[in-house]
Amino acid sequence: MRSDHKLRGWSRIWPAFKNTLAGIQAGWAEPAFHMEAQLAAFMCPFAFVLGKTWLETGFLLATLVLVLIVELLNTGIESAIDRVGYEWNTLSKRAKDLGSAAVFLSLLLCAGVWLSAGIAYWQA
């Protein structure tokens, strides 16, 4: 093993996958991620109904996954800020507000794409 204790190449795949599972498990404990993941699971089948092509279906599914990705990143930001301390700080508030805004924008994008697909489906 290298002196910096970092695995290289293919030997890092399994440890990285275990970290990924731990991250998803930690995210699942967050109420916002839990709710968004359940909603995404509920909506996935509808992507196959609303999407007229595989590209449209993929785009509908991608917007659902994007919301989950951004929520996990936001949770990571919040966790890092909370590790530093719980006292009020302007920069900490700004970081958390920016993460929250990113989640909101991803939700708006998702809603817009799904609404557009729904309108196109019902007009056809």
Domain ranges of the chain: 31-123
pLDDT of residue 85: 87
Specify the pTM: 0.88
- To the question of domain 31-123 being in CATH 3.20.20.80, the answer is no
pLDDT in single tens digits along all 124 residues of the chain: 444 567 788 888 999 999 999 999 999 999 999 999 999 999 999 999 999 999 999 999 999 999 999 999 999 999 999 998 889 999 999 999 999 999 999 999 999 999 999 999 999 7
CA nearest neighbour of 33 among 66, 75, 96: 75
Torsions phi, psi for 6 (to 5 deg): -105, 130
User: And the tokens for 34?
Assistant: 């839990």
Name the residues annotated as catalytic. Answer: 71
pLDDT of residue 30: 95
